[in-house]
Amino acid sequence: MPSFDIVSELNMQEVDNAINQARKEIEGRYDFKGSNAELNWDKKEVTLLAEDEYKVQTMASILEMKMGKRGVDLRALKLSKIEPAGGKLLRQKVTFAQGIEKEMAKEIVKFIKDSKLKVQPQIMDDKVRVTSKSIDELQTTMQTVKGHNFSIPLQFENMRS
């Protein structure tokens, strides 16, 4: 039976490139000269460190701008609150949504079922598999899901016939 998977994944190479570009811009900016502003990336999350809230917010906006230019969907970025980091520094963490969480998967399944298409969606770990007897129904489902604005970026993969 034909099927496809709905997933939420990021191109981590583009994320890495955007972070390196943001780091270079921050190092070269005049308003960051002589400050303790740091952008740290441990392959799971980004930590922004600076002396004041303005610099942390500026670093976050530079990071978002570079991500957008590299084609990374900004809905996948989760910015935490700015908090004290010891000494005179402030910290903000940026994490990346990878995979579809259970609540979001349930919302996607409900949306597909409410669309009255002849498909069967089911949650499988961190993705949603959609099956149908008709490839045309699957393609219509893809267009319907693309047309709805979910709070995370979605991609379609493993189209099987």
Per-residue pLDDT, 44:
87
Q: Which helix (H) or strand (E) holds 146?
A: helix 135-147
Pairwise CA distance, residues 32 & 55, whole Å? 8
HEC letters along 10-42: CCHHHHHHHHHHHHHHHHHCHHHCCCCCEEEEC
User: Can you list the positions of beta strands (E) in the chain?
Assistant: 3-7, 38-41, 45-50, 77-79, 83-84, 90-96, 120-124, 127-131, 155-160
pLDDT per position as a tens digit, 62-118: 999 999 999 999 999 999 999 998 888 999 999 998 889 999 999 999 999 999 999
> pTM of the full predicted structure?
0.81
Pairwise CA distance, residues 86 & 93, whole Å? 15
Q: How confident is the model at residue 131 (pLDDT cuts 50, 70, 90)?
A: very high
Pairwise CA distance, residues 33 & 8, whole Å? 38
In order of their start, the domains of the chain are 3-8+100-160 (3.30.70.860), 12-96 (3.30.70.990)
Per-residue pLDDT, 98:
86
pLDDT per position as a tens digit, 27-49: 999 988 888 889 999 988 999 99
